[in-house]
Structure 1
């Protein structure tokens, strides 16, 4: 019987989806799913939903819950992580302080100045979790879903020897979206996607050996489709390759779309996939969801009686990877976050990149991608080198290096002077001092 530890099981959608996905594999029909969270009320509610899925599956799997990370990890064969250090009360400062300096951030969990400070808070926590894995389940397969993905994985893969990779749903999610737009069966699309998390590009997008990009260009002449993802579609039409993560995210990863109010109105107020794409709304939405999480779960329970629950597997990679590593060992190819090691030669060798990875009984096998197109390499190199600097700063608790990393952020540098960036960074350190401690 395999044991899976969910660290941060309070993630309602994610936890129930992965439990359901794991139950689709015979090797895990009798597994133990140990759900761990620090919020006992949320944990109890999530467990109720997951129990309904287990009951509907008619499998002998069992659910356990705990507030103890040690208890969850002890004897675990697989570990999934969806935690974060600091809730909305601190996250809002990462958005509100830059906003006063003209840096208008949308999602704020992965990149730009807000992603940098989120990384500084979360890197110590993730290293603690790795330490506990090494102590309580040293052979476990560890899959991380916590953002900012690249920086957290870079830290864990560089400073621990735990077997860990990071997963995101943007690669397969974007292929599904494009397949629907192009009216092509998703299973018939052959693609190669590489870069860094949330900033990976489809270097190949084909069907039966035929390039699909000309068809996509033709489709985007129709405003109905162009307006679905304005930022990403604009990037594709100018950069010639489609990027993985949504417009809402990508609008804050570069200097082109959010540096002036008129540009925000043109590109970011509508169809950013984080409607309506403005900070005030995204914060209010998160606050509203935080205050009504119990209502969301109650509604799901009401709408999903045992005899009507769908047991269809989602498109998340996690269950397939666990099956390849510790289940029936069917090899599985996925896009994972790993140290580059020359797989993309024109990105830093020590950067965390998102590339095709093969999982099997023996472990993870990286694939050689080759160089990114020159113009994409310039964009992605900025991200990769900046993120390397942030991880270095976090490990050294070096305040100066954090400031210099923020200076290199494309959106921040498009809006602020160096002196303004220094003032902004100092205020963010002050707002985060409870979580960060003393940076020198």
Structure 2
């Protein structure tokens, strides 16, 4: 019997899906589930749904809910972290203030000014989580879903003794998308993917031993496919490989796509684009598109009746429950996860970097695979992002404002849009606007 803690459980949809994954495994259906959130009302909604799911399926799992983090973590075996620190107001500042300086972020949660400042307001809370775990569940595995993934996991691994693994769904969603583009069944697709979170690459993608890359290149010439995913198809053409992050999000990590409003407009479908396999959302290219979605989702969740939630149990493509099941039952399984590169999984990236690589999971834990060298052009693109992450980790752990400013100045998109003096002025404005969320930089 495993004790599984959900931190940030107030997000009903995500918590419900992850709990459904756990309950879908008979070997985990008797788990002790502990839900924790600082928002008592949101927590109670999730707890009501979770208990109803357990009752509807007549599972042996138990569900507890608490707003006390230390109490929730007591004796945990696994901690799933989906927290968001600060909510919509600082998020809006992190998008709109850079916008005033010409830095156009569609999402703003992974790299760039938005990602770096999100890390600064999130890391202190995650460090508190890890230190609580050191005290009351030191052997527990922290499975982190919170962005910015690479910065946070790097910093937690650097500063604490807790084993942390970062999880995302971009590899799974991209596998679905490229199978769709290539006209093959996603269940038949074999792949080998490595890089960093939101910039990992399908180094191999095969069906029955045959590469689907020729079909992907043909798909790039198809207007419907290209319109759905223009940034990723552009990178495929110019750098030779398909990348894991969606076009709207990926466009922020590079200097090529967001410094000219006409280019953003050109890459945005004129009438929007219905979401397709793999979460195709090219219509989210405009600046602040995800912020608008985030606010709408919060309102929808707050107004949603618990009675309207689907209580059926099914297995999503998220990795968390797969990892827990593999460890608990000693069932070997391969997933893509975010870990430090200390073992040299990717030999032409820095040893300290947080990389997203194939990992073998069994009863002894999570073990990163050896990838070797990435193609030189892919490693070069990744290193531009790692440079920002490295400075952000230093800024967050050392409370170093100079490192914070260097992180912003090294960012590919910000550097393409602004002068160095403009970037300093932007940082000044962000520090002032979000001062309540950044006590370390007061």
TM-score (norm: length of structure 1): 0.95
Secondary structure of the corresponding residue to residue 349 of structure 2: coil
- Give the whole-Å Cα distance in 2 for the aligned partners of 1:303 and 1:279: 32
Counterpart of 1:82 in structure 2 is 82
Gaps of 5+ in 2: 274-279
Most deviating of 357-366 and 198-207: 357-366
- 1:307-328, Cα deviation, whole Å (9 max, x unpaired): xx43221111101101122x21
Kindly tell me: are residues 303 and 83 of structure 1, through their superposed partners in 2, closer, same or farther at Cα, counting changes over 3 Å?
Answer: closer
RMSD over aligned CA atoms reads 1.6
Counterpart of 2:333 in structure 1 is 332
Secondary structure of the corresponding residue to residue 119 of structure 1: helix
Secondary structure of the corresponding residue to residue 121 of structure 2: helix
Is it true that 1:104 corresponds to 2:119 in the alignment? no
Most deviating of 418-427 and 21-30: 21-30
Counterpart of 1:348 in structure 2 is 350
Most deviating of 337-346 and 277-286: 277-286
Q: How many residues get paired?
A: 433
Secondary structure of the corresponding residue to residue 206 of structure 2: strand
Is it true that 1:288 corresponds to 2:296 in the alignment? yes
TM-score (norm: length of structure 2): 0.94
Deviation at 1:274, TM superposition (A): 6.0
Secondary structure of the corresponding residue to residue 338 of structure 2: strand
Counterpart of 1:141 in structure 2 is 141
Is it true that 1:273 corresponds to 2:281 in the alignment? yes
Is it true that 1:319 corresponds to 2:321 in the alignment? yes
Deviation at 1:303, TM superposition (A): 6.2
Deviation at 1:382, TM superposition (A): 1.1
8 Å Cα contact 2:267/2:282 also seen in 1: no
8 Å Cα contact 1:29/1:61 also seen in 2: yes
Which segments of structure 1 move beyond 6 Å, counting only runs of 4 or more? none
Counterpart of 1:215 in structure 2 is 215
Deviation at 1:281, TM superposition (A): 4.2
Is it true that 1:165 corresponds to 2:173 in the alignment? no
Kindly tell me: are residues 204 and 261 of structure 1, through their superposed partners in 2, closer, same or farther at Cα, counting changes over 3 Å?
Answer: same
Kindly tell me: are residues 56 and 177 of structure 1, through their superposed partners in 2, closer, same or farther at Cα, counting changes over 3 Å?
Answer: farther
- 1:107-154, Cα deviation, whole Å (9 max, x unpaired): 111111110000111111111101111111112121000000000000
- Give the whole-Å Cα distance in 2 for the aligned partners of 1:396 and 1:27: 43
Counterpart of 2:31 in structure 1 is 31
Deviation at 1:190, TM superposition (A): 1.4
Counterpart of 2:277 in structure 1 is none
Counterpart of 2:115 in structure 1 is 115
Deviation at 1:332, TM superposition (A): 1.6
8 Å Cα contact 2:118/2:148 also seen in 1: yes
Counterpart of 2:436 in structure 1 is 434
Secondary structure of the corresponding residue to residue 343 of structure 1: coil
Counterpart of 1:423 in structure 2 is 425
Deviation at 1:276, TM superposition (A): 3.8
- Give the whole-Å Cα distance in 2 for the aligned partners of 1:266 and 1:254: 17
Deviation at 1:185, TM superposition (A): 2.1
- Give the whole-Å Cα distance in 1 for the aligned partners of 2:236 and 2:392: 28
8 Å Cα contact 2:107/2:288 also seen in 1: no
- Give the whole-Å Cα distance in 1 for the aligned partners of 2:201 and 2:12: 29
